[in-house]
């Protein structure tokens, strides 16, 4: 009896508390569906297709609206105008990183992806500078990506005319030749949606995966410490260790071992599964659209030929191929709702007041699938990035890497990888589907918040 009374009391307190939290400060917040106590607007959202749910809600509440995921308040930005106004025009204010479930348990206030404030600024600036010094977007890293592309082609050659199986699960391990960067199990980008709290089963798996990547990185850091030459940094980890040494008397320094470990994990995880999933999806789309593949191969033949490896300079002479790579990224919409942001202070936005710390959910999907900028946005059509003369046509709506101050740190590297891997593959192989291309399904399988390609099979036939 007593415990029942306590239970009832507790429940009513929780209810009141949640009502109070939802009411307070609601005056000037953007409009939105009325939240239920405790669960908020969960019933109005299809967890399997959050992006589509947001689009549906935006039809009722407009491009800026408020949603409650349980007790957590989020402001949603939908459509190019709102996204651009926030991420670009008010870049500083919208540059915070929103709350990730599990982030605390995985010790992730460190590093770059999950950090905020001074820490994030310093680590991000350092990471960008270091990656650039190693030639991201320049020659030296290009050599390495070319080397990787050659290895990939050799691996694919070994498959002879056997079928290369494509796996739905990003987590499958083994020597999958399509994930040349190493398929680490279930990378953050598919698995850190703010909604993860509603998939209890995924928790342990995710924590285990983070622990695995982390132990690998820890080992690497140790190896680096033992073999390092202060005057000849070999890579990112060496540069960070040197910076740590320089700042060792500064108590406030952000260049600590925790930040090194977590930044390395961040770069590694953010950089692998994103690129490999895009590549796997690109191959599926090329299988589905043989006429597109033929045009890319014609361009490769004309600009590069057979006797040398593709390089980045070729891209400016290959508008069709460039358009195809852009269209792949637009069409697949890898991270439909981006990673969560937060506002770093109280922000006045379109006559609303968004309180400091509010999570901001950004629909990149609504920008990439804008039907004025990209007529028939649900169709895969490289003409979305070509003018009438067949020249490459740039679009401000091309935001698969997001925009503003949090924009993907690896954009240059990722675009280099996609171009060099795809052209190297198509220079060396024809793609053959086991079923009629018309029967290939290219609808994404939504994996939490990321779009991954459905299972398919593919033969690489040497040209």
- Do residues 42 and 195 touch, judged by C-beta distance below 8 A? no
How far apart (Å, rounded) are the C-alpha atoms in residues 285 and 303? 23
Size of the site for ligand NAG (CB under 6 A): 5
* Residue 56 interaction partner, one of ligand NAG, ligand HEM, none, beta carbon < 5-8 Å per kind: ligand NAG
Q: Which residue has the tokens 């099979």?
A: 457
* Residue 267 interaction partner, one of ligand HEM, ligand NAG, none, beta carbon < 5-8 Å per kind: ligand HEM
Task: Give the nearest distance from C-beta 367 to ligand HEM in angstroms.
Answer: 11
User: Under rule CB under 6 A, which residues in 65-84 are in contact with ligand HEM?
Assistant: none
Contacts of 73 by beta carbon, 8 Å cutoff, 6+ apart: 21, 22, 29, 66, 67, 358, 359
How far apart (Å, rounded) are the C-alpha atoms in residues 212 and 326? 33
Residues in the chain: 463
Q: Which is nearer to ligand HEM, 22 or 261 (CB)?
A: 261
Q: Which is nearer to ligand NAG, 195 or 268 (CB)?
A: 195
How far apart (Å, rounded) are the C-alpha atoms in residues 197 and 210? 17
* Residue 402 interaction partner, one of ligand NAG, ligand HEM, none, beta carbon < 5-8 Å per kind: ligand HEM
Query: Does the protein bind ligand NAG through residue 56 (CB under 6 A)?
Result: yes
User: Under rule CB under 6 A, which residues in 283-342 are in contact with ligand HEM?
Assistant: 334-335, 338-339
Question: Among 408, 420, 450, 452, which residue sits at the site for ligand HEM (rule: CB under 6 A)?
Answer: 408
* Residue 29 interaction partner, one of ligand NAG, ligand HEM, none, beta carbon < 5-8 Å per kind: none
Query: Does the protein bind ligand HEM through residue 347 (CB under 6 A)?
Result: no
* Residue 46 interaction partner, one of ligand HEM, ligand NAG, none, beta carbon < 5-8 Å per kind: ligand NAG
Q: What is the DSSP string of 81-125?
A: HHHHIIIIITTTTT-EEPP-TTTTTTT-SSTTTS--HHHHHHHHH
Task: Give the nearest distance from C-beta 262 to ligand HEM in angstroms.
Answer: 11
- Beta-bridge partner residues of 36: 40
Query: Does the protein bind ligand NAG through residue 46 (CB under 6 A)?
Result: yes
Query: Does the protein bind ligand HEM through residue 367 (CB under 6 A)?
Result: no
Q: Which is nearer to ligand NAG, 49 or 176 (CB)?
A: 49
Distance of CA 73 to the CA centre of its chain: 23
- Measured in degrees and rounded to the nearest 5, phi and psi for residue 341 equal -105, 180
- Do residues 309 and 50 touch, judged by C-beta distance below 8 A? no
* Residue 49 interaction partner, one of ligand NAG, ligand HEM, none, beta carbon < 5-8 Å per kind: ligand NAG
Query: Does the protein bind ligand NAG through residue 197 (CB under 6 A)?
Result: no
* Residue 274 interaction partner, one of ligand HEM, ligand NAG, none, beta carbon < 5-8 Å per kind: ligand HEM
Q: What is the DSSP string of 14-77?
A: HHHHHHHHHHTT-TTSPP-PPPBTTTBTGGGS-GGGHHHHHHHHHHHH-SEEEEEETTEEEEEE
Q: What is the DSSP string of 352-394?
A: EEE-TT-EEEEEHHHHHT-TTTSSSTTS--GGGGB-TTS-B--
- Do residues 419 and 300 touch, judged by C-beta distance below 8 A? no
Helix (H, G, I), strand (E, B) or coil at 414: helix
The stretch near ligand HEM (CB under 6 A) out of 11-19, 48-56, 165-173, 264-272 is 264-272
* Residue 413 interaction partner, one of ligand NAG, ligand HEM, none, beta carbon < 5-8 Å per kind: ligand HEM
Q: Which of 39, 38, 76 is nearest to 60 (CA)?
A: 76
Query: Does the protein bind ligand NAG through residue 49 (CB under 6 A)?
Result: yes
The stretch near ligand NAG (CB under 6 A) out of 45-53, 85-93, 278-286, 318-326 is 45-53
How far apart (Å, rounded) are the C-alpha atoms in residues 395 and 404? 16
How far apart (Å, rounded) are the C-alpha atoms in residues 431 and 185? 27
Size of the site for ligand HEM (CB under 6 A): 25
Task: Give the nearest distance from C-beta 362 to ligand HEM in angstroms.
Answer: 7
CA separation (Å) from 67 to 48, 54, 101, 369? 17, 10, 17, 22
The stretch near ligand NAG (CB under 6 A) out of 47-55, 92-100, 161-169, 206-214 is 47-55
The stretch near ligand HEM (CB under 6 A) out of 67-75, 154-162, 217-225, 410-418 is 410-418
Query: Does the protein bind ligand NAG through residue 258 (CB under 6 A)?
Result: no
Sheet holding 457-462, edge to edge: 164-165, 457-462, 429-433
User: Under rule CB under 6 A, which residues in 434-453 are in contact with ligand HEM?
Assistant: none
Question: Among 18, 22, 41, 53, which residue sits at the site for ligand NAG (rule: CB under 6 A)?
Answer: 53
Q: Which residue has the tokens 């199990």?
A: 185
Binding site for ligand HEM (CB under 6 A): 97, 112-113, 124, 266-267, 270-271, 274-275, 278, 334-335, 338-339, 400-402, 406-410, 413-414
Binding site for ligand NAG (CB under 6 A): 46, 49, 52-53, 56
């Amino acid at each position: 009896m007593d415990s029942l009374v306590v239970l009832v009391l507790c429940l009513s307190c929780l209810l009141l508390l949640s009502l109070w939290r939802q009411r307070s400060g609601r005056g000037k917040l953007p409009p939105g569906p009325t939240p239920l106590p405790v669960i908020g607007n969960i019933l109005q959202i299809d967890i399997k297709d959050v992006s589509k749910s947001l689009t549906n809600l935006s039809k009722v509440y407009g491009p800026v609206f408020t949603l409650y995921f349980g007790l957590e308040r989020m402001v949603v930005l939908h459509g190019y105008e709102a996204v651009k106004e926030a991420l670009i025009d008010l870049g500083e204010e919208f540059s915070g990183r929103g709350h990730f479930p599990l982030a605390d348990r995985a010790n992730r206030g460190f590093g770059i992806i999950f950090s905020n404030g001074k820490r994030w600024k310093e680590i991000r600036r350092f990471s960008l500078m270091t990656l650039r010094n190693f030639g991201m977007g320049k020659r030296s890293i290009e050599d390495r990506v070319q080397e990787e592309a050659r290895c990939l082609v050799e691996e694919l050659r070994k498959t002879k005319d056997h079928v290369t199986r494509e796996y739905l699960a990003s987590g499958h391990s083994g020597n999958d030749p399509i994930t040349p960067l190493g398929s680490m199990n279930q990378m953050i980008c598919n698995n850190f949606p703010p909604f993860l709290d509603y998939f209890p089963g995924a928790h342990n798996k995710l924590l285990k995966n983070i622990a695995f990547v982390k132990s690998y990185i820890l080992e690497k850091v140790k190896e680096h410490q033992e073999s390092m030459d202060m005057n000849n940094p070999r890579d990112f980890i060496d540069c960070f260790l040197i910076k740590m040494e320089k700042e060792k008397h500064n108590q406030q320094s952000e260049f600590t071992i925790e930040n090194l470990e977590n930044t390395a994990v961040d770069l590694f995880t953010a950089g692998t599964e994103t690129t490999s999933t895009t590549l796997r999806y690109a191959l599926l789309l090329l299988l589905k659209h043989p006429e597109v593949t033929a045009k890319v191969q014609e361009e490769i033949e004309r600009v590069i030929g057979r006797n040398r490896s593709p390089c980045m300079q070729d891209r400016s002479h290959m508008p069709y191929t460039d358009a195809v790579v852009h269209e792949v990224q637009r069409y697949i919409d890898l991270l439909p709702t981006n990673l969560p942001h937060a506002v770093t202070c109280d922000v006045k936005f379109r006559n609303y007041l968004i309180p400091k710390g509010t999570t901001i959910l950004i629909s990149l999907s609504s920008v990439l699938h804008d039907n004025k900028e990209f007529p028939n946005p649900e169709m895969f059509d490289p003409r979305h990035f070509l003018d009438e003369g067949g020249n490459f046509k740039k679009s401000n709506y091309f935001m698969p890497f997001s925009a503003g101050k949090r924009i993907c740190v690896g954009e240059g590297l990722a675009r280099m990888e996609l171009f060099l891997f795809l052209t190297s593959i198509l220079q060396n192989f024809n793609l053959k589907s086991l079923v009629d291309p018309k029967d290939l399904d290219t609808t994404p399988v939504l994996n939490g918040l990321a779009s991954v390609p459905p299972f398919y099979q593919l033969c690489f036939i040497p040209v």
